[in-house]
Amino acid sequence: MKKLLLLALLQGSFLLTLSAQEPVNDSIIAVIKKHGMDKSKVMETASMITDMYGPRLTGSPMLDKATNWAVQQLKDWGYQNVHLDEWGPFGRGWELKHFEMSCEGPSYWPIIAYPKAWSPSTKGLVKGEVVYLNASTVEDLEKYKGKLKGKFVLIDTLRALKEWEEPLAKRLTPEELLEMANAAKPQAGGRRGNRNFPESGREFVKKMREMLYAEKPLATIDRSFKGDLGTVFVSGASAKDGSARDEGAEVLPQVTMSVEHYNRIFRLLAMGIPVTLSMEIQAEYTNKDGMEHNIVAEIPGTDLKDEVVMFGAHFDSWHTGTGATDNGAGSAVMLETARILLETIKETGIQPRRTLRIALWTGEEQGLLGSRSYVTNQVGLIDADGNLNKKGDYDKISAYYNLDNGTGKIRGVYLQGNDDASSIFRAWLDPFKDMGATTLTLQNTGGTDHLSFHAVGVPGFQFIQDGMSYWSRTHHSNMDNYDHFVEADLKQAATIVASFVWHTSQRDEKMPRRKMEERTAAQGN
């Protein structure tokens, strides 16, 4: 432990020496802290985003309602150039009107389950027996031909559960933060699947899908690779061909079931006991023009008004919870940041030098679609030969700040390999060390909208956050609701982001930029 503390002290001393020349406006920070911590409105905003306007699936009518509310809120606060940034085509949207599912035999019990987004309606309440598709080769599939029509088909194996002996919600420890601070580069990671097929490549999955669509079962049923105690992690349905969002795409009803209920049915079938289910889905395909919108608003700058400091988060969510920690938290924090900045300007009379621009993105869950479109159209893009083609805003944007890792407090910043930003951020973090924000790392959290900017060489940063129960319980799940916000953490995050945005706007120079050959490919979170 003594060695750990010594390393931390040496690191801090070294970085403080580097940051000695970077200006920090303590009087502005005091005003920001007052409005961010003592006069916060972040929970009111968070409640509107989730309780009133959740969930916010891209393409859905509820997202449109949420977008209209956010636009009006920004206007009411006094933001200028408030507008919708259209992008697309995204494809058709989807809205769930009603869902129920229960076991009818060998005994009755209600089932915890959710249809995948873009699943079609059933023809009223449908009933049928359950079949486990026990196939791992194309030859195995032959056994089920002519036997699945009118049945519910289990796709996954049984998943054995282990009782939790560790807390679900966790904060980063000093040891973990030090390890992050000493890390060199982020490592690419994969995702675990549900089944290990000997022929688990695309060809087998394609053949299985073809067989299922030919058989036309009542629904396919899976359970996610994580989650228990009634928590269900759900995303989007797959189509026979192409995307389920494509107009006219053929999509089977697809359901994700809680693992406990899935396992119960699986065990009954393994004992040779027939199981009968009933289910009804009422859903509508929406958004006929296929176009979607980001939300953009500004506070104009002064002597450097043609340059821009951007901050934002993704506004869309999945459909089973209300999109609280993913990413109502980030959106509420960024809207609160916008409010704090206005209050700071009103109280101090000091205007930002650079224009401050908030952006709330949509389509993030399907692959950073909204932010990538914005960057492609207004900032820059990499062509097929790897060449950078700059657009009008490329040389104007100083930095983009993003928040999208749940409700946990900010502990520092992912530098994205941008060494030259280290001493600047060290100086800006120092006033918040008593709030737990001290760490800088070359690592990258990945998978969210800062990567759209980073990919073309514009400084895009995501803040390090305490994980809490984000990955274990709320991310993309039916438990992603307002009740899992941590108020103190959201206040802290908005206060720190507001200070970073303000200090970026007041620098004589724009934020330093990294070398383009270090860029990271964007992918969804």
| Predicted pLDDT at 305 | 98
Specify the CATH architecture of the domain 31-91+289-518. 3-Layer(aba) Sandwich (3.40)
| Predicted pLDDT at 268 | 98
The whole-angstrom distance between residue 330's C-alpha and the CA centroid of its chain comes to 9
| Predicted pLDDT at 446 | 82
List beta partners, residue 80: 298
Say what the pTM is: 0.91
| Predicted pLDDT at 518 | 44
| Predicted pLDDT at 7 | 42
Across the beta sheet with 410-414, the strand order is 80-87, 292-299, 354-361, 304-314, 397-402, 460-465, 410-414, 439-441
The enclosing H or E element of 138 equals helix 138-142
DSSP conformation class of 483: G
Domain ranges of the chain: 31-91+289-518, 94-162+188-286
Q: Select from 451, 454, 350 the least CA-distant residue to 404.
A: 451
Specify the CATH architecture of the domain 94-162+188-286. 3-Layer(bba) Sandwich (3.50)
In DSSP notation, 36-69 reads IIIS--HHHHHHIIIIIT----TTSHHHHHHHHH
CB atoms within 10 A of CB 271: 7
| Predicted pLDDT at 16 | 45
**Residues in the chain, pLDDT under 50:** 1-19, 187-199, 518-525
- Are residues 504 and 311 in contact, defined by beta-carbon separation less than 8 angstroms? no
Measuring CA to CA, how many Å separate 306 from each of 79, 377, 395? 17, 18, 10
